């Protein structure tokens, strides 16, 4: 038994792991006297709790190591639906039994994005290092809003690393968010506060009513979360100008300039243009240099939605395409997409330090700074956005970059791009398949077709093919509608995929397609 009387060391037998670095905590609390001193909601037996935790870790590792042998997705059965719709528990159940319920009713029915053959929507695959980091972050139970503590310093460091990775100016700033949806809200809100101040209107004091009528411009291919952000911020749909796209699904810059001019003539105040660094539908990248020119000529804020596509900046042969993304006023990037981290982890970068604080800093006696102690810390992430309580999501980013290094993550992104080009060759080499759209990034759209089929038959067939493929558990692409056509869509942000997985995808689609086409043509 350990002779250390510190509360954190006294419970249980001596550990074989190294002692924590740094000085021991000052002022030890009372020594544990065993189960009788256990807090009411803590485990009654810490050794039982430890044993269950070890079993959980073993199960997690077994699950991750065997993902390829599992179905990508499977329907949730009636028994599980019933179990997961039961009323609130009034009394407790032993944790081990709760875990058994999890194994029976939750773990077998995931979305599937950890699986090597998941390419639906834009969901990352989850690095194992991030899994452990999330456990450690939860055990620390840090809220990363303000104050001097290691969690704050980790997020400061991680934000700096990401600025370096994307070539962001040293004068910049940022914070981690739950996703680009939140990043859009924070960035657009900050842009409006600054622009209103230039016009002599204090947005924070007086609000939007009666103030300048701001307008925001984005292409028809922009993610719907931007429109939601503008609705929430009070712009309304009338303040959102949807700009047409060219044949490559990129914003029409001439139409953009014309729309900005119309807005000014109507007495409005054009505020921001939102550019796409990889649209969700097709992976298109707006002409960033042209958008920068429009923004500078018109005095607009340029916000870039790089939710997944910004990662392409790390790939040398794509850098020309994305080179000027680091000249924008703000940029969002989802680390849980093309950095493969477990949900949720995203970053918002802004060009000028202090911009976010100007828009969001608030205070009260209980959050004021002191001359010493944790409240003396200068940085407050709570002053850079709308969340005061913020989870320690930075730790998994820190673990991932420390464990793998930026070069390894960049190599994985490059391999995903190469794998999509391989998939495009498979599609082009199949008489039964036709490419509908592709991009230099990681998105491609295609469909099954046969001579003489009507547009309605092709839509019906591809819906049926995709449904059968997904419910079989073999692979998980998703879909979209392009030019009125229902198409199968692959968005590849999966570090576990092998090229042979795409061989299997094409084989299954062609096989299922033949069955479906035969059924439709014999009715």
Question: In a structure prediction context, what are the per-residue pLDDT tens digits for the chain, which is 523 residues long?
Answer: 333 433 333 333 444 445 455 555 555 555 554 555 678 999 999 999 999 999 999 999 999 999 999 999 999 999 999 999 999 999 999 999 999 999 999 999 999 999 999 999 999 999 999 999 999 999 999 999 999 999 999 999 999 999 999 999 999 999 999 999 999 999 999 999 999 999 999 999 999 999 999 999 999 999 999 999 999 999 999 999 999 999 999 999 999 999 999 999 999 999 999 999 999 999 999 999 999 999 999 999 999 999 999 999 999 999 999 999 999 999 999 999 999 999 999 999 999 999 999 999 998 888 888 989 998 899 999 999 999 999 999 999 999 999 999 999 999 999 999 999 999 999 999 999 999 999 999 999 999 999 999 999 999 999 999 999 999 999 999 999 999 999 999 999 999 999 999 999 999 999 999 999 999 988 7
CA distance 450 to 380: 60
**SS3 at position 442:** coil
The C-alpha angle 64, 66, 72, rounded to 5 degrees, equals: 85
CA distance 281 to 231: 22
CA distance 185 to 332: 11
Edge-to-edge strands of the sheet including 301-305? 173-177, 346-350, 330-334, 301-305, 269-276, 214-219, 240-243
CA distance 213 to 408: 46
Residue ranges of domains in the chain, CATH in brackets: 1-36 (no CATH), 37-129 (3.90.1150.170), 143-391 (3.40.640.10), 406-521 (3.90.1150.170)
Residues paired with 438 in a beta bridge:
444
- DSSP per-residue letters across 120-155: STT-----HHHHHHHHHHHHHT---SSSSSHHHHHH
- pLDDT of 51 reads 98
- pLDDT of 1 reads 38
- pLDDT of 522 reads 83
Is the pTM value of this prediction over 0.85? Answer: yes
Q: Say if CB 296 and CB 329 are below 8 A apart.
A: no
CA distance 292 to 227: 21
- pLDDT of 191 reads 98
Burial tier of 142 (Cβ tally within 10 Å: 0-12, 13-18, 19+): buried
- pLDDT of 119 reads 98
- pLDDT of 13 reads 40
Q: Say if CB 185 and CB 232 are below 8 A apart.
A: yes
- DSSP per-residue letters across 170-210: TT-EEEEES-HHHHHHHHHHHHHHHHHHHTT--HHHH-STT
Q: Say if CB 383 and CB 140 are below 8 A apart.
A: no
Cis status of the peptide bond prior to 284, with omega within 30 of 0: no
CA distance 519 to 259: 49
- pLDDT of 24 reads 53
Residues paired with 89 in a beta bridge:
none
Burial tier of 121 (Cβ tally within 10 Å: 0-12, 13-18, 19+): middle
**SS3 at position 350:** strand
Q: Say if CB 385 and CB 110 are below 8 A apart.
A: no
Length of the chain: 523
Q: Which of 488, 492, 489, 490 is nearest to 513 (CA)?
A: 488
CA distance 207 to 389: 24
Burial tier of 352 (Cβ tally within 10 Å: 0-12, 13-18, 19+): middle
Burial tier of 508 (Cβ tally within 10 Å: 0-12, 13-18, 19+): middle
Tokens found for residue 114: 């950890």
Residues in Cβ contact with 92 at an 8 Å cutoff, skipping those fewer than 6 apart? none
Edge-to-edge strands of the sheet including 476-482? 118-119, 476-482, 485-491, 443-448, 433-438
Main-chain phi, psi angles of 302, to 5 degrees: -105, 115
Q: Say if CB 502 and CB 422 are below 8 A apart.
A: yes
- pLDDT of 36 reads 52
Tokens found for residue 367: 């959050």
Q: Say if CB 515 and CB 504 are below 8 A apart.
A: no
> Measured in whole angstroms, how far is the alpha carbon of residue 81 from the centre of its chain?
27
CA distance 203 to 417: 43
Q: Say if CB 283 and CB 309 are below 8 A apart.
A: yes
DSSP 384: G
Q: Which of 438, 100, 28, 25 is nearest to 249 (CA)?
A: 438
């Amino acid at each position: 038994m350990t002779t250390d009387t510190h509360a954190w060391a006294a419970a249980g037998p001596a550990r074989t792991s190294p002692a924590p670095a740094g000085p021991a905590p000052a002022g030890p609390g009372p020594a544990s006297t065993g189960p009788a001193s256990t807090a009411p909601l803590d485990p009654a037996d810490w050794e039982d709790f430890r044993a269950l935790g070890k079993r959980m870790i073993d199960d997690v590792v077994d699950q991750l190591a065997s993902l390829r042998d599992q179905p990508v997705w499977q329907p949730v059965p009636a028994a599980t639906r019933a179990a997961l719709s039961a009323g609130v528990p009034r009394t407790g159940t032993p944790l081990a039994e709760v875990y058994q319920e999890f194994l029976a009713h939750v773990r077998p029915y995931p979305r599937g994005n950890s699986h090597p053959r998941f390419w639906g929507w834009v969901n990352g695959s989850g690095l194992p290092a991030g899994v452990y980091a999330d456990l450690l972050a939860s055990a620390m139970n840090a809220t990363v809003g303000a104050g001097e503590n290691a969690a704050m310093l980790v997020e400061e460091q991680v934000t700096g690393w990401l600025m370096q990775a994307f070539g962001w100016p040293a004068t910049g700033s940022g914070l981690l968010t739950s996703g680009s949806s939140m990043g859009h809200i924070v960035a657009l809100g900050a842009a409006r506060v600054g622009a209103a101040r230039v016009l002599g209107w204090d947005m924070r004091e007086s609000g939007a009513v009666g103030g300048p009528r701001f307008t925001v411009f984005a292409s028809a291919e922009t993610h719907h979360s931007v429109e939601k952000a503008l609705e929430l911020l009070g712009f309304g749909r009338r303040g959102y100008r949807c700009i047409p796209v060219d044949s490559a699904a990129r914003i029409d810059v001439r139409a953009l300039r014309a729309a900005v001019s119309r807005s000014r003539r109507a007495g409005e105040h054009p505020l921001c243009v939102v550019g796409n660094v990889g649209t969700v539908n097709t992976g298109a990248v707006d002409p960033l240099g042209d958008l920068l020119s429009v923004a500078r000529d018109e005095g607009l804020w340029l916000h870039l939605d790089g939710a997944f596509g910004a990662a392409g900046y790390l790939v040398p042969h794509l850098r020309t395409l994305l080179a000027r993304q680091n000249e924008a006023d703000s940029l969002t990037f989802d680390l849980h997409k093309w950095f493969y981290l477990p949900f949720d982890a995203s970053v918002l970068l802004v060009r000028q330090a202090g911009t976010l604080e100007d828009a969001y800093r608030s205070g009260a006696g209980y959050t004021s700074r002191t001359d010493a102690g944790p409240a003396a810390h200068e940085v407050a992430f709570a002053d850079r956005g709308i969340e005061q309580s913020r989870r320690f999501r930075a730790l998994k980013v820190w673990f991932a970059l420390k464990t793998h290094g930026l070069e390894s993550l960049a190599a994985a992104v490059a391999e995903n791009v190469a794998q999509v080009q391989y998939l495009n060759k498979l599609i082009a080499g199949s008489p039964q398949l036709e490419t509908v759209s592709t991009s230099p990034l990681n998105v491609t759209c295609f469909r099954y077709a046969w001579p003489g089929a009507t547009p309605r038959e092709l839509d019906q067939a591809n819906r049926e093919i995709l449904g059968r493929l997904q419910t079989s558990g073999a692979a998980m692409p998703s879909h979209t509608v392009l030019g009125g056509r229902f198409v199968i869509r692959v968005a590849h942000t999966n570090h576990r995929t092998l090229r042979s997985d795409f061989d299997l995808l094409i084989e299954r689609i062609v096989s299922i397609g033949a069955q479906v086409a035969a059924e439709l043509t014999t009715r």
